[in-house]
Structure 1
């Protein structure tokens, strides 16, 4: 610096005196110039706000806080640490065989499987109502997939049926053509069951092998697959009860055991519910993770103490509906719907006489210790009365719960709209089911109405399950939502992004540098002259 001082002195002596004079202020008579108007485009403010950094503009010109190099370095280090942590988390997740969230196609497949089970339940009811269930007297899971293909095969199957109690006591005059009709009903029911099993097991293996399901969901799929296979065994166990030699005794009625029929029906309902519930749970998890902030608010609203009674009531309602359906299975197994075909009375009163309800005829022990439960499960009169009581209780409980959500101010204020619609749908379904049940009883169990009544029972359970899936608080999904929110917060994507102190991207840097050059050029030209 000392060496350059003589050169500066020599250069200063050669400069003009006007170079050091500000003519703008030396002439007081000169009018005040107009304010500087920079021909900057209107989108410069948006560029500064969204694409540029405060470090690119001095504080005296833009009013922005200047980004120091040390601060930018610290932000870069924190950003790199977050990215490395997320990369390590993804690497750990990739090392695991099962993903954390089951994919959506699995949910759609489960719902489709549930629809198939719904259909086979209705078709099974038609098979029972047409008395076709005992037409096939053998159980061949593999070779029985094909029906008889020749006349000799048909004669062989017909000979086996003619040796059964049902043919000798109920259908002694049945022809081969009539036998073919009931045979095809039972064969179709069994074939549908095989298709349900294959359409579930094969895709389940594929989804697990392709890592499309979570660990807990894979265990659930295994349980459902086992239940489907066990259901086939229960079906043959039920049919076998109607082929016993004891049914040849005088006064016997060839029919399957009402216990085994109810077990077969309950297994089908459980299988259907499991498919439906898990399919809805997967879709709900994806819906919650799509908007974690909104999902967290929704789950907090559901966990409110004001909705605690409602959530518990929905769970109890599902158990009540299932129990009512099982009592209907006992009615179907005993043909109890063929007596007392009036409603609400049963004979001369609301209930049959006490001696008829608690008859000693059904007791098998000398001390009568089994009198009460055998009458409840084997006496057609008491079984029908039990079903009436259960149905009335279910109907009253649903209407009461709907009134609770409708007229309780606290519940009405906080209950989500989806739950409100689900509750109203359950009310509509129970009204329809009550109408079908009374019609089935009054018109002596006609096949179309009775089949619709069985389908209505499964539809009512479906409505309650859907309502339960909307009110249920999934702890695992809540943890996933909280983790997703934490990741978004750490990455700065959870809310509006602040512009101050943010390290600019490449585009922001280029635009900021260009804008600064333009401002410097305008300053060097000075203010515009008046015309």
Structure 2
């Protein structure tokens, strides 16, 4: 009996000793890692400070009288995930204990945001096809609710056709159009508007659910609110754009071509690009945080790279490149709005030189003030020759910037995340395809398939740039601290589990009979 009791206390003291030894080893490993707790830096040479911080913050209090209590307490600690919504007892009143906001969002929120971004990508392409087929002015009314239903009978079709006959586009361009031809352009515009309503419903309703159930962090909840407001504003901008093409002022000018205002067209396209960028970058951020939570060890390595000051020059260049891509796309919207792609269908020359004559670039006929004070900016935005030249210059600059981005990524490769490095190569590939599509669209007099592909290529290039920016963005400080604590706790837990396995082996091993 005395021998059995001695063995019991011997094993208990041995468990405590091994647990402390393992914690010391963990502390030595943690001291070699970069300090991730941004609120207070810990010196890498202070072994005692790191050990004390880890054992106090991550390790549970050890029971020195029971050898199994160490592992049991650790298992209880590992079952609590601070970044997930708190598990509610079925017998607990949910109103008495409201759910708290999580540090990170559910990964399903990320998948939903990516799917919404893909849907926006599709409607941008469809909108380009609607413009290229001159179908955007076929519906002369804006009915957000009742307009979702198409004409259901022949009488309804005739009524819609009669409304279109009162538009300047019919009177000046399509006076010989038949009812069957009208149905084609009507279906194009109707599908574009219906898709917009679909995006609004599939975004706003799930956003309300995720926020109400607190499946998102407060930061992401705020973004969802901003995107929802921008979605509603985008619908109003679309009708504001269409309304500019229904103005009777076109009837007062000889040889007039009814078209929407290029300023409003650029606003509508720019808002769509901003919506797409917001959905995509937010979705990538949510999925990246979910991946870090699932693998804190990989997160530690990523944080070390993202916090490295050597990467700052590359980080500064990335938003400049993204802005350049967006600016080039907006200049393309003015090219489309003014049909500027139908002139000077050669590349790289515009007429006899790379730069057109100055009299064409700054035509005084576009100035509307008597003192010609608006000569410069009106030619920049309303002169088709100048608009096409601006787009060529911006496109060439963007392509050269893509090359510079690729060269910089090769230089900073050891210090940047692997996905960011791959995104730089993807940007270079998309830029080469986009330049080829742009030149082909110009040379072949803007065929619909090439023009639509060129617009899609602009959004694809912005997608890669947004993905690069998301991969280089440092996570929020509270999130870094949470992942840091999870990493330290997981390392210590693994050490205690190893001790428990060794204890189990010794317990099952029979002592010699001589004892």
TM-score (norm 2): 0.81
Q: Does 1:215 align with 2:215?
A: no
Number of equivalenced pairs: 455
Alpha-carbon deviation of 1:251?
Answer: 3.1
Alpha-carbon deviation of 1:294?
Answer: 2.6
Secondary structure at the aligned position of 2:514 is classed as helix
Task: Check whether the contact 1:288–1:481 (CA below 8 A) recurs between aligned residues.
Answer: no
Task: Check whether the contact 1:318–1:465 (CA below 8 A) recurs between aligned residues.
Answer: yes
Q: Does 1:347 align with 2:346?
A: no
Alignment partner, residue 269 of structure 1: 273
1:118–1:473 CA distance, 2 compared to 1 (3 A): same
1:81–1:512 CA distance, 2 compared to 1 (3 A): closer
Secondary structure at the aligned position of 2:348 is classed as coil
Task: Check whether the contact 1:239–1:256 (CA below 8 A) recurs between aligned residues.
Answer: yes
TM-score (norm 1): 0.79
Task: Check whether the contact 1:288–1:295 (CA below 8 A) recurs between aligned residues.
Answer: yes
Which of 168, 176, 185 lines up with 2:171 in the alignment?
168
Alignment partner, residue 519 of structure 1: 511
Alpha-carbon deviation of 1:472?
Answer: 1.6
Rounded to whole Å, the distance in 2 between the matches of 1:312 and 1:58 is 56
What does the per-residue CA deviation read over 1:498-520, in whole Å, with 9 as the maximum and x for residues that have no partner?
86xx6x69x947x75664xx425
Alignment partner, residue 237 of structure 1: 240
What does the per-residue CA deviation read over 1:91-126, in whole Å, with 9 as the maximum and x for residues that have no partner?
996745422211011111111111111000000000
Rounded to whole Å, the distance in 1 between the matches of 2:456 and 2:464 is 12
Task: Check whether the contact 1:331–1:337 (CA below 8 A) recurs between aligned residues.
Answer: yes
Alignment of 1:79-158 (within 5 A): 95-158=98-161
Alignment partner, residue 469 of structure 2: 468
Alignment partner, residue 327 of structure 2: 323
Rounded to whole Å, the distance in 2 between the matches of 1:96 and 1:66 is 36
1:243–1:53 CA distance, 2 compared to 1 (3 A): farther
Q: Does 1:72 align with 2:64?
A: yes
Task: Check whether the contact 1:289–1:480 (CA below 8 A) recurs between aligned residues.
Answer: no
What does the per-residue CA deviation read over 1:450-474, in whole Å, with 9 as the maximum and x for residues that have no partner?
0000000001101111111212212
Q: Does 1:456 align with 2:460?
A: no
Secondary structure at the aligned position of 1:148 is classed as coil
Rounded to whole Å, the distance in 2 between the matches of 1:236 and 1:364 is 27
1:519–1:456 CA distance, 2 compared to 1 (3 A): same
Alignment partner, residue 404 of structure 2: 400
Rounded to whole Å, the distance in 2 between the matches of 1:398 and 1:436 is 16
What does the per-residue CA deviation read over 1:175-202, in whole Å, with 9 as the maximum and x for residues that have no partner?
1111111111111111111111111111
Alignment partner, residue 260 of structure 2: 256
What does the per-residue CA deviation read over 1:192-220, in whole Å, with 9 as the maximum and x for residues that have no partner?
11111111111112222222112221111
Which of 190, 193, 204 lines up with 1:190 in the alignment?
193
Rounded to whole Å, the distance in 2 between the matches of 1:377 and 1:233 is 23
1:58–1:232 CA distance, 2 compared to 1 (3 A): closer
Greater alpha carbon shift after TM alignment, 234-243 vs 364-373 = 364-373
1:432–1:74 CA distance, 2 compared to 1 (3 A): same
Task: Check whether the contact 1:132–1:185 (CA below 8 A) recurs between aligned residues.
Answer: yes
Secondary structure at the aligned position of 1:452 is classed as helix
1:421–1:169 CA distance, 2 compared to 1 (3 A): same
Task: Check whether the contact 2:63–2:70 (CA below 8 A) recurs between aligned residues.
Answer: no
Secondary structure at the aligned position of 1:493 is classed as helix
Greater alpha carbon shift after TM alignment, 301-310 vs 161-170 = 301-310
Rounded to whole Å, the distance in 2 between the matches of 1:65 and 1:388 is 70
1:91–1:349 CA distance, 2 compared to 1 (3 A): closer
Secondary structure at the aligned position of 2:462 is classed as helix
Task: Check whether the contact 1:363–1:371 (CA below 8 A) recurs between aligned residues.
Answer: yes
Alpha-carbon deviation of 1:302?
Answer: 2.6
Task: Check whether the contact 1:360–1:371 (CA below 8 A) recurs between aligned residues.
Answer: yes
Task: Check whether the contact 2:366–2:383 (CA below 8 A) recurs between aligned residues.
Answer: yes
Secondary structure at the aligned position of 1:147 is classed as coil
Q: CA RMSD in A?
A: 3.2
Task: Check whether the contact 1:422–1:463 (CA below 8 A) recurs between aligned residues.
Answer: yes
Rounded to whole Å, the distance in 1 between the matches of 2:18 and 2:283 is 52
Rounded to whole Å, the distance in 2 between the matches of 1:91 and 1:272 is 28
Unaligned runs of 5+ in 1: 1-51, 525-531
Between Structure 1 and Structure 2, whose CA radius of gyration is higher? 1
Unaligned runs of 5+ in 2: 1-6, 21-61, 87-96
Secondary structure at the aligned position of 2:215 is classed as coil
1:82–1:374 CA distance, 2 compared to 1 (3 A): same
Secondary structure at the aligned position of 1:134 is classed as coil
Task: Check whether the contact 2:13–2:64 (CA below 8 A) recurs between aligned residues.
Answer: no
